[in-house]
Amino acid sequence: MNRQTLLEMLQQQGVTRRGFLKYCTALTSLMALPPSMVSAVAEALETARRPSVIWLSFQECTGCTESLTRSYSPTIEGLIFDHISLDYHHTLQAASGTAAELAREQAMHENKGKYLVVVDGSIPLDNPGFSTIAGISNVAMLKETVANAVAVIAVGTCAAYGGLPHAAPNPTGAVSVSDLVPDKPLINVPGCPPVPSVITGVLAHFLTFGAIPELDELGRPKVFYGQSIHDRCYRRSFYDKGLFAESFDDEGAKKGWCLYRLGCKGPMTYNACATLKWNQETSWPVESGHGCLGCSEPNFWDAGSFYKALSIPDGDYARAAGYAVAAGVGIGAVAGLLNKNTKANAVAKHSSVSVDDFAVNKNNNNEGA
């Protein structure tokens, strides 16, 4: 099927070159690219055709779709209607049952080898009957749909790493998309839910450049997940000085000190919350006074209490941070450094969650099951 380019479509709607450049400016910012890339984005969009997108929702809470439909920059309506052709999304579309499945089959047929598949939710393997759509098991639908897709985007921690359904004791035998789709270009966009503009930013990147952005070892786009929450946290100057809130209502908390001792998982968590923020950029968890839960990391549900600190040594924090600065090491590395040094100590005390509990190797995912 020959689809219009975005530029052709905008021109048809009477959008001027200035309007197009403005759209490209917003999109460049959304994709977390520097403003100097605007002309490259414009150039790419002049020839980019609107791909067909099939969105599959499996074992999930609809939080990821909720997050997506609340992204506003550019509006999701703009993104869906101007930029992509969302041919199947059973939560958002009006049709259901057989009629909806027909739309999916038609999109797959007409755009064979060219369509994009977005998945939210994990896939139960213990009994495929645990989760079905129009009588089709999740695993069968996933395999059938991705067979002729150009790429797959796993949205949310459930699709990316198994998420909540996968948490011990993993009653449904939930697995991630990557466990079942080893042979397709795959982008993981984790988060519980992911930051809305990260979802749209990743989609926009693929649609603009027709390629997968650079990924880290957990399959996440580096532009959004390249830095830890801690590395971009505005409270970091307090962490560096060793000033920590000890309870949620003490003087330190009121003064906006670091939340590390209240369980903040920022140092081990790679996500864009600290810059892109939430609710139309109003605030984000740490700014609202609560530590990061680590929701964009595999197994964050099983990493011990959200309120237990990652293992910290007594007293030596500021000093170690100082050493790291002097040695040119990123602050985010300090926690790792200290955790290594004091692991034995922490284990003996059983008082804290260790880095190893948290940054679990993805291949060990099934241990708790």
Partner 1 sequence: MQDLSDIKIIVDDPAVQSGNLQSIVTEIYHALKKLLAKKNIHRIDLRAMPWTAGEEQQLEQILGVGEVKIEMNAMGKSIFQETSYSGVWWISHYNDEGDVISRLIEISYLPDMIFAQQEDIKSALERLKNNL
**Given 1, 4, 16, 318, the residue binding partner 1 (CB under 8 A):** 16
CA distance 9 to 205: 19
CB 157 to ligand SF4: min, Å: 9
In sign, the C-alpha dihedral spanning 90, 96, 97, 98 is negative
Stretch that binds partner 1, among 17-25, 146-154, 163-171, 353-361 (CB under 8 A): 17-25
CA distance 193 to 199: 10
On the 0-12 / 13-18 / 19+ scale of CB atoms within 10 A, 352 is buried
Tell me the per-residue interface mask from 215 to 234 with partner 1, x by CB under 8 A, - otherwise. -----------------xxx
Rule CB under 8 A: is residue 21 a binding residue for partner 1?
Answer: yes
Beta strands in the chain (DSSP E): 52-57, 85-89, 116-120, 123-124, 132-133, 136-137, 151-155, 174-175, 186-189
Distances from the Cα of 235 to the Cα of 231, 240, 335, 336, 337, angstroms? 10, 9, 15, 18, 20
CB 349 to ligand SF4: min, Å: 20
Please, are residues 151 and 177 in contact by the beta-carbon 8 Å criterion? no
Peptide bond into 171 cis (omega under 30): no
Tell me the per-residue interface mask from 156 to 195 with ligand SF4, x by CB under 6 A, - otherwise. -----------------------------------x----
Half-sphere exposure of 158 (CA within 13 A, CB side): 25
Peptide bond into 193 cis (omega under 30): yes
Rule CB under 8 A: is residue 74 a binding residue for partner 1?
Answer: yes
Stretch that binds partner 1, among 16-24, 60-68, 126-134, 293-301 (CB under 8 A): 16-24
Q: Spell 41-65 as b/e; 16+ CB within 10 A means b.
A: bbebbeebebbbbbbbbbbbbebbb
Query: Residues 256 to 275: which contact ligand SF4 by CB under 6 A?
Result: 258-260, 264, 266-267, 269, 271, 273
The enclosing H or E element of 333 equals helix 332-349
For 163, the token pair is 């998420």
Comparison of 137 and 228: residue with beta carbon closer to partner 1: 228
Rule CB under 8 A: is residue 283 a binding residue for partner 1?
Answer: yes
Q: From the list ligand SF4, partner 1, none, which binds 287 (C-beta under 5 to 8 Å, kind-based)?
A: partner 1
CB 153 to ligand SF4: min, Å: 18
Tell me the per-residue interface mask from 199 to 238 with ligand SF4, x by CB under 6 A, - otherwise. ------------------------------xx--x-xx--
Rule CB under 6 A: is residue 239 a binding residue for ligand SF4?
Answer: yes
Stretch that binds partner 1, among 108-116, 263-271, 275-283, 328-336 (CB under 8 A): 275-283
Rule CB under 6 A: is residue 294 a binding residue for ligand SF4?
Answer: yes
Q: From the list ligand SF4, partner 1, none, which binds 162 (C-beta under 5 to 8 Å, kind-based)?
A: none
Please, are residues 88 and 55 in contact by the beta-carbon 8 Å criterion? yes
Binding site for ligand SF4 (CB under 6 A): 191, 229-230, 233, 235-236, 239, 258-260, 264, 266-267, 269, 271, 273, 284-286, 291-296
Binding site for partner 1 (CB under 8 A): 15-19, 21-23, 25-26, 28-29, 32, 34-36, 38, 72-75, 78, 232-235, 237, 255-256, 274-276, 279-283, 287
